[in-house]
Amino acid sequence: MKRITALVAVLLSAPCIHAETDDGSVIGSVGYIHVEKLDGVWWLVNAEGERFVATGMNHVSPRIRFASYNKEHWIKEFGEGILRGKGVDWKAPEVNTWMEQVAKDHRDYGFNTIAFHHPREMPTEYFEELGIHYFGKLKLGEINHKHTHWHGGFPDVFSPEWKTKAEVKVKAFAAKHKNNKHLLGYSFNDLPDYSLEAYLRIREWEMKREVYELHPWIKDIISKPGSTEGKKLWVDMLKRNHASAEEAGANYGVDAVSWEELAASSDWKTPEDRNKGTADQREMCMRITEAWLKTHHDLIRKYDPNHLILGDKISAHGLGQPDWVWDIVKKYVDVVLIQDYDFYTREHEEKLKGIHRKTGLPIINGDHAYGCLRPNMKKNKGIPVENLCRVGEEYARYLQGIMGLPFMLGWQNCGYLEQWSGGENDNTGAEQCGLFDPFGKPLMDALRHVKQANRNAVKWHEGTMEK
């Protein structure tokens, strides 16, 4: 709904400068998508001054749209030029037809945002033309251990070379997006391995046994040959935490009698003394996380003063993140972007309140879904429920629940088109749940609930409808 006050008229005519008000009630640039706190409730506000909450569908994905069982259908719909070899020809005019279909599917059922999970190569300028909001995806390195082998390991965030490359990428990305009115904000990576605690919990789940090891981001930085900025930082930290180079080296399987010898080493083992090793690693993880997020923040602000910074999509599953993660994150993002799959319960609500209490920032749940096992599936993603009707009911219950929290700015459902067996699964090994079948047919048993909930979201959030 449009705000028609004289104040807003003045603000909209003013230059767009990214700034927070003294009372924190406005974050971002008026004239672009920004955040405002009105009567105690946080809102996303678009370039025209309309309040909204972000609802979208994840996985606008070639591997799901053009799988073996539905590829020919979509080639017929969009045109033969859409594929080249084994992949999408992103420069083909047929891609525009595909994006028009994506935008229509979203709008028809009350979604307003192209969510986090879409290909980085996708020409998001189409969404500016089509008038639908979208997540900007900026990637300066891979920081989830499941994917780093495709990217040459974790980035050395202390390296001058990495910082130079990062600036080139941010400058180019910002030049393309900084004037776009429908860019929701800059997002980075999926499920970052910030902390040792959260990383070890994931590894133990993966290995089905107790695991203790060097955090891979630390290991990749300190295993580089020669004297690097990252290794210098690591050794300076060891000097504070250990009585001698010999003692520090012994804990990591390094034979060294001087700090210089220790700094020259590129072969570090799992620490023998877990307590000392955990203390060392916790401090180093904090330094790495801070450097990673500060570099993003400073470069984005240098080249784009207009748009929100959403940051990495951070796992809040289970025990979530240690407090220090939120202490660092809140300094460098405008909106906290999380992933948490759950029913809307009192416990889940308290978790969301806890993250907000620690950061003082509004939150988007960027990835979450309910799913049921459908024909042509072997194993489905999403929190399991009995059928599509329950999928829709739980969607509505969750959206209504979070809209009752004044700091929540939306939810991005995981997924869009459902996936059948025979396609290319992600690393979970399960088929993607969705709200449309692989041939684009709306799954109305779910969508009738979803559509009504999306239409009610703003009213729920402003408190004008009974919760």
Q: For residue range 358-378, list pLDDT tens digits in order.
A: 999 999 999 999 999 999 999
Tally of CB atoms within 10 A around 242: 19
pLDDT in tens, 43-66: 999 999 999 999 999 999 999 999
What homologous superfamily is domain 54-200+287-462 in, according to CATH? Glycosidases (3.20.20.80)
Tell me the C-alpha to C-alpha distance, in Å, between residue 445 and each of 61, 258, 388, 448: 23, 69, 6, 6
Q: What are the residues whose beta carbons fall under 8 Å from the beta carbon of 399, sequence distance 6 or more?
A: 55, 411, 453, 454, 457, 460
Return the residue matching tokens 């004008």. 464
- Contact between 109 and 125 under an 8 Å Cβ cutoff? The reply is no
The pLDDT-based confidence of 172 (bands split at 50, 70, 90) is very high
Residue 314 sits at the vertex; the CA angle it makes with 18 and 380, to the nearest 5 degrees, is 130
Give the integer Cα–Cα distance in Å for 3 and 7: 9
pLDDT at 23: 60
Kindly report, as residue ranges, where domains of CATH 3.20.20.80 are found in the chain.
54-200+287-462
pLDDT in tens, 19-35: 555 566 899 999 999 99
Asked if 436 and 424 touch (Cβ cutoff 8 Å), the reply is: no
In which band, very low, low, confident or very high, does the pLDDT at 406 lie, cut at 50, 70 and 90? very high
Torsion of CA 238, 240, 245, 251, to 10 degrees: -50
Distance CA 299, CA 168 (A): 10
Q: Is the pTM of this model over 0.85?
A: yes
Contact 328, 294 (CB under 8 A): no
> Which residues, listed in sequence order, are joined to residue 384 by a DSSP beta bridge?
371
Banded model confidence at residue 13, pLDDT cuts 50, 70, 90: very low
CB 245 within 8 A of CB 259: yes
